[in-house]
Structures are given as structure tokens and as C-alpha cells.
Amino acid sequence: MTEHPYHWLFTGVNQPLQRAPLELMAPGPGEVTVEIAGCGVCHTDLGFYYDGVKTNQPLPLVLGHEISGRVIEAGQGARDWLNRSVIISAVIPCGECDLCGRGKETICQTQKMPGNDIDGGFASHIQVPANGLCEVDPVRLEQAGLTLPDLAVVADAVTTPYQAVLQADIQPGDLAIVVGTGGVGGYAVQIASAQGAQVVAIDVDVAKLEQLMDHGAGMTVDAGNIQGREVKKAIRDFAATQGLAKTEWKIFECSGTTAGQQTAYGLLTHGATLAVVGFTMEKLELRLSNLMAFHAKALGNWGCPPSLYPAALDLILNGKVALSPFIEHHPLDDVNGIFEAAHEHRLSRRAILIP
């Protein structure tokens, strides 16, 4: 165990995070203490910090919900987890209520999200319910050429689009369109491709688009040069050349911007599925009747049930989804500088902070 456990406290909007000692209590029944290997910096963290999105737990709070590590202590009923390498689910359902019993864990009313409902992962240690853990096989991890800190982004950045792809019921030969390819969106491209879809990636960052041509994208659209109806026309032309249907497109809005949401909604076709994955506080004016006229559907996508984590992890360990080209490690003590760099879009890869 780290000789002096610590965490970084979020005390107010735009106020520097503060390093402080962490007093570790013995985990209660069904709980574990995890020594953190890495914690990813997510757009949601920046929303809390810069935009004043309210956390469910009052401040001060430790942010961070993309966490991997090793279980070093376990309470009653959870001792089988001792010494195991794990990923912590970004949204941990109670596992006991009626909603959980009916497979609706993501809307569990007593769920716990690290960095929102409970203290999160920008720390040396965290205590969480054991039912939110996904075990990592160290042998497979090494064979895949990855480290435990690398897997921090599986929580949220990988599993959230994984659930979105499952909900959209992507089948081999479908046309999938991903709007916004930074972070979550980049993995959505890879996962949709792994499920057999032909994927169109849309972004304003040309470098990200070029990178994704080697990781699942069959076509890219530079939204800085092509907008509005021209985007849909370009995709229709691509679909025609690839022998793909002009109906029932699977559209994933991952940008979390009003422009991205407008683009995604404008791509609705007959029988389309619109998966809303990104988040923004901004409002958008829409003609909702398009859903009716196209007999289309829009799906929300909050987190991912812990039960789906092993299958998402398999995609990575089996080499179907790449992590290494899209992540970079930084010391946790650089957290304030990394937040600023991420907010100003100066990072080309998703930051993982290492205690």
C-alpha cells in the first residue's frame, strides 16, 4: 500500500484541485479497497470542473470515474476479490432493487458513480462496492502488450459506446455513423466496426479522422469543410458505392456539442436509430416530427452495466479494439495542468493519471 494515501479534492468550479491526505477506513460488507493503477480524464470531469455541472455529492469531492487498480482490502462477502486486478465500473448499480432485477441497472435509483455520487479515482486509493468490479487477467493483459493503468479507460470511454452499439443492435453489413471521434467516439468507431458495420467517422479534427482510417473507419467526413445536407449526401454516395442500405442507419452522437447533435439529427433516415452518447448542457432546437416521419428512434445511453464489462474487455484483449494509439500516461500530481490542457484541446490522446 502507498505509505501515505492521498487524493485530489475538487472544491469549486475553476478552483485548483487540492492534494490532501486520505484516511482509509476498513471496507464494509460487500465493499473493497482498491489501490489505483490509473484514472482517465473524461469530458464529464471537465463538465463538473469548468461548466458547473452539479455533482450528486456536495463538494469537496474527488473526481474521476475511469479507474483500474488492484484490490488490497475486502469486507465481508467480498474477500474473493483480494489481490485481483480490476476495472471499476463507471456506474455501479445496487444490484438488489426491482430495476436491477429486471436488467435495467443503468437507471438504478441508488447507483453510485465514482467522482459524482462517491469519491472518485484521482487518488491513490478508492473504496467501492464489489459488485462494480470487472476482473482483469494479468496473463492476457501482458499478452496483449498492455498495462493495468491502460485499462482505466475501459470504464466509460470503451464500455459506454459498447453498450450504445449493443442497444442499437448493429448487425454485419449495417451502416454506422459516429459523430465526434475524440475519446468515446473513437472507440465507438472501433466497436461498431468489430461488430461488422461499415463505419463513417465525422469530426472537425482531421488528424483524428486520419488515425481512425487504420482503426475501423471506412469513410471520414471533415465537418469543418462539409456541413448540413452535404454531409448526408456524401454518406449516401458512400453507402451506394459499398452496397449498403439507404435506410436504417445507426447514428452515434458522441461529440457532446450542439453542432454534433444537429449533424447527427440531420442524418436521420427511414428506420434509423440515433444513439445519444455525448453530453452537453446546451439546448438544441429540433423538429421532433422527423422521428415520426422517418419511423426512427432515439436512444439515451447512460453508462454501462457491470455485466457487460467482460465482453467489452475481451474486444481489447483479443486485439479487436486498440487502446495504445489513443491514450497517454501522466503523473497524478500533474492533474491541474492536465485538466487545463484537456479543456483547451491541447491533448491528442486521452490522459490517464498515474498515482
Looking at the fold, whether 264 and 330 belong to one and the same domain comes out as: no
The C-alpha cell at 10 is 475538487
Do 198 and 286 have their domain in common? yes
284 and 164 in a common domain: yes
Instruction: Classify residue 29: in a domain, yes or no.
Output: yes
For residue 321, what are the CA distances in angstroms to 146, 158, 165, 312? 12, 9, 14, 9
Residues 74 and 200 in one domain: no
270: cell is 427511414
Interval 283-304: pLDDT, tens: 999 999 999 999 999 999 999 9
Residue 1 clears pLDDT 60, i.e. is over it = no
Task: Tell me the DSSP string of 215-278.
Answer: TTEEEEEETTT--THHHHHHHHHHHHHHT--SSS-EEEE-S-SHHHHHHHHHT--TT-EEEE--
Q: Which of 300, 322, 346 is a domain's end point?
A: 300
- When pLDDT is cut at 50, 70 and 90, the band that residue 280 belongs to is confident
Residue where a domain stops, chosen among 281, 300, 319: 300
Q: Are residues 243 and 289 in the same domain?
A: yes
pLDDT tens for residues 90-133?
A: 999 999 999 999 999 999 999 999 999 999 999 999 999 999 99
Give the pLDDT of residue 228: 86
Distance CA 165, CA 176 (A): 9
Q: Which residues, listed in sequence order, are joined to residue 136 by a DSSP beta bridge?
A: 85
Provide the 3-class DSSP secondary structure of residue 148. Answer: coil
313 and 241 both lie in a single domain: no
pLDDT digit string (tens) for 305-331? 999 999 999 999 999 999 999 999 999
> Is 219 in the same domain as 136?
no
Confidence of residue 343 (pLDDT cuts 50, 70, 90): very high
Residue 317 within any structural domain of the chain? yes
16 and 118 assigned to the same domain: yes
Report residue 184's pLDDT band, with 50, 70 and 90 as the boundaries.
very high
Q: Tell me, what CATH number does 325's domain have?
A: 3.90.180.10
- The range of the structural domain enclosing residue 329 comes to 6-156+304-354
| 179 occurs within a structural domain | yes
The CATH number of whichever domain residue 171 belongs to comes to 3.40.50.720
Indicate the pairing of strand 85-88 with strand 66-74: antiparallel
Percent of the chain residues topping a pLDDT of 70: 99
Concatenate the DSSP letters of all residues of 301-315 into one string. Answer: -----GGGHHHHHHH
CB count within 10 Å of CB 237 equals 11
Relative orientation angle of helices 229-242 and 258-266, to the nearest 10 degrees: 50
Q: Structural domain tally of the chain?
A: 2
Among 280, 300, 320, give the residue marking a domain's end.
Answer: 300
Q: Are 167 and 56 in contact (CB under 8 A)?
A: no
Same domain, 136 and 32: yes
Q: What is the pLDDT of residues 241-252, one digit of tens each?
A: 999 999 999 999
- Do 270 and 186 have their domain in common? yes
pTM, entire model: 0.95
- Residue 231 placed within a domain: yes
Residue 51 maps to a domain: yes
Condensed to tens digits (0 to 9), the pLDDT of residues 40-77 reads 999 899 999 999 999 999 999 999 999 999 999 999 99
Contacts of 122 (CB under 8 A, 6+ apart): 7, 8, 17, 39, 62, 63, 64, 115, 332, 335, 353
- pLDDT for residue 2: 53
Q: Are 212 and 201 in contact (CB under 8 A)?
A: yes
Would residue 1 count as lying in a domain? no
**238 part of a folded domain:** yes
The answer to whether 199 and 226 have CB atoms below 8 angstroms apart is no
Clarify whether residues 128 and 222 are in a common domain.
Answer: no
Is pLDDT above 70 for 18? yes
* Spatial CB neighbours of 281, under 8 Å, sequence gap ≥ 6: 47, 51, 53
Is the domain of 296 the same as that of 323? no
Q: Determine the pLDDT at residue 242.
A: 96
Question: What percent of the chain shows pLDDT beyond 90?
Answer: 95
In a domain, 199, yes or no: yes
Q: Can you give the pLDDT at residue 235?
A: 97
> What pLDDT is attached to residue 227?
85
Separation CA 24–CA 327 (nearest Å) = 30
